[in-house]
C-alpha cells in the first residue's frame, strides 16, 4: 500500500509551547481524509510542515516517502490551499492561470481555464472583487492545475455560505474522482467531512487522538445504555469515551472490542458522535483546572 503522507513523532514548537507534538500518522494514497480538531490543536501547523513551509523541531514528515524540505522534486507532487485562499487580489483569474504556468513545470492551464469557465468565474475581473466562494474556486482550480498527487486544503470552506460550500465540495469531489488525487481536508464542519471523507485524523491537544478509515472507526464505536456505571469494566468494551447518568441509568459512548455484556443495550453511532467524543474527552476538566475552577 502506497503512503501519500507519513509523519513519525513529528513536532513543532513556538517558544515553550508545542503547537504539534509526537504526531504519528499514515495516510494511504487515494484517500480523501478529514483533518479535525479544535482551534489550536495543530491542524495548520501539520499542513505547513507537510508542504515544507515550516521546519520540524522533532520527528519527520514524508510525502510519498520523500522529505519535502529543500527537495524541489517533491514540490510538484503537492497542491496546497491555505486558509483564506490567499491570492494576488489585483490579478485576474486569467492572469493567475498564466502566472501558474510560468512557475510550475507540470502545469495544466487548459484544466484550470475549463474549470473556471464551467463555474462562471469572470476571467478578466480582479480576484479581489470576486465573492468568497469564487475566490475559493479559483484557488482550488490553480492547485489542481499542478496535477498534484497530494492536495492539502486548510479550512477552504470555513467562510463560505452553504450553497458556495456545497459547490466547492462537489467541484473538489469531481476533480478527485477523475485524477485519483489524495486529499487531506482540514475543517470544523463535521457534516461536510462525513459526506466526502473516507479517512479521518483527529488532532487534540497537539497530538493525534484518532486516525484510520472512517468505516472502521465508526464500526469500532457504539452507544451503550444500561445500569448506572461506576467505572467497573464491561465485557466487550475497550474504553469508555463519554458518559452521562441519571439516577439508575448510564449512557456511554464506548470503543468496543468484542461482544458487549448483554446487560447493556447497544446502538449504532455516527461519525460526528465519534469525533465529538474524542474532542471533548478531558477538555472541559482541563480548562476548569487551568482557570482554578472546580471540575
For residue 24, give every residue at least 6 positions away whose Cβ sits within 8 Å of its Cβ, in sequence order, or none.
Answer: 7, 8, 9, 10, 59, 208
Residue 295 lies in a domain: no
Clarify whether residues 130 and 253 are in a common domain: no
Q: Concatenated DSSP letters for 82-115? A: -TT----TTSBHHHHHHHHHHH-SS--HHHHHHH
Among 164, 185, 214, the domain boundary falls at 214
- 140 and 130 in contact (C-beta within 8 Å)? no
For the entire predicted model, the pTM comes to: 0.87
pLDDT at 287: 46
Mean pLDDT of 184-201: 90
Phi, psi for 84 (deg, rounded to 5)? 65, 15
Continuous segment of H or E residues that includes residue 50? helix 43-50
Clarify whether residues 250 and 136 are in a common domain: no
Q: Is the pLDDT of residue 292 over 60?
A: no
Q: pLDDT by residue (tens digit) across 138-170?
A: 999 999 999 999 999 998 877 778 888 888 888
Q: Which domain holds residue 280?
A: 220-290
Domain count, the chain: 2
Clarify whether residues 92 and 224 are in a common domain: no
Mean pLDDT of 115-139: 91
Would you put residue 163 in left (φ > 0), alpha (ψ -120 to 50) or beta? alpha
Report the percentage of the chain scoring pLDDT > 70. 95
Among 214, 248, 268, the domain boundary falls at 214
The owner of cell 498564466 is 98
Clarify whether residues 246 and 200 are in a common domain: no
pLDDT at 40: 86
pLDDT at 274: 94
Q: Is the pLDDT of residue 275 over 70?
A: yes
pLDDT at 250: 96
Q: At what angle do helices 132-145 and 109-118 cross, to 10 degrees?
A: 150
CATH code, 178: 3.40.50.300
Find residue 265's DSSP bridge partners. Answer: 225
Amino acid at each position: 500500500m502506497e503512503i501519500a503522507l507519513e509523519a513519525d513523532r513529528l513536532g513543532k514548537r513556538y517558544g515553550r509551547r508545542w503547537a504539534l507534538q509526537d504526531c504519528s500518522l499514515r495516510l494511504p494514497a487515494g484517500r480523501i481524509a478529514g483533518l479535525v480538531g479544535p482551534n489550536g490543536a495543530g491542524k495548520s501547523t501539520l499542513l505547513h510542515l507537510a508542504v515544507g513551509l515550516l521546519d520540524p523541531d522533532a520527528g519527520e514528515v514524508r510525502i510519498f516517502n520523500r522529505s519535502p524540505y529543500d527537495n524541489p522534486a517533491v514540490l510538484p507532487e503537492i497542491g496546497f490551499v491555505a486558509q483564506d485562499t490567499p491570492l494576488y487580489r489585483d490579478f485576474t483569474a486569467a492572469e493567475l492561470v498564466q502566472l501558474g504556468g510560468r512557475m510550475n513545470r507540470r502545469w495544466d492551464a487548459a484544466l484550470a481555464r475549463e474549470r473556471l469557465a464551467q463555474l462562471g468565474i469572470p476571467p478578466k475581473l480582479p480576484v479581489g472583487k470576486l465573492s468568497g466562494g469564487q475566490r475559493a474556486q479559483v484557488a482550488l482550480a490553480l492547485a489542481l492545475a499542478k496535477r498534484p498527487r497530494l492536495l492539502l486544503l486548510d479550512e477552504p470552506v470555513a467562510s463560505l455560505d452553504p450553497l458556495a460550500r456545497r459547490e466547492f465540495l462537489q467541484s473538489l469531489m469531481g476533480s478527485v474522482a477523475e485524477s485519483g488525487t489524495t486529499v487531506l481536508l482540514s475543517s470544523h464542519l463535521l457534516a461536510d467531512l462525513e459526506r466526502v471523507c473516507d479517512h479521518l485524523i483527529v488532532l487534540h491537544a497537539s497530538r493525534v487522538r484518532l486516525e484510520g478509515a472512517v468505516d472502521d472507526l465508526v464500526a469500532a464505536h457504539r452507544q451503550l445504555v444500561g445500569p448506572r456505571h461506576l467505572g467497573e469494566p464491561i465485557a466487550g468494551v475497550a474504553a469508555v469515551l463519554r458518559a452521562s447518568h441519571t439516577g439508575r441509568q448510564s449512557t456511554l459512548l464506548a470503543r468496543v472490542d468484542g461482544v458487549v455484556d448483554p446487560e447493556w443495550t447497544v446502538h449504532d453511532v455516527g461519525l460526528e458522535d465519534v469525533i465529538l467524543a474524542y474532542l471533548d474527552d478531558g477538555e472541559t476538566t482541563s480548562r476548569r483546572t487551568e482557570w482554578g475552577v472546580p471540575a
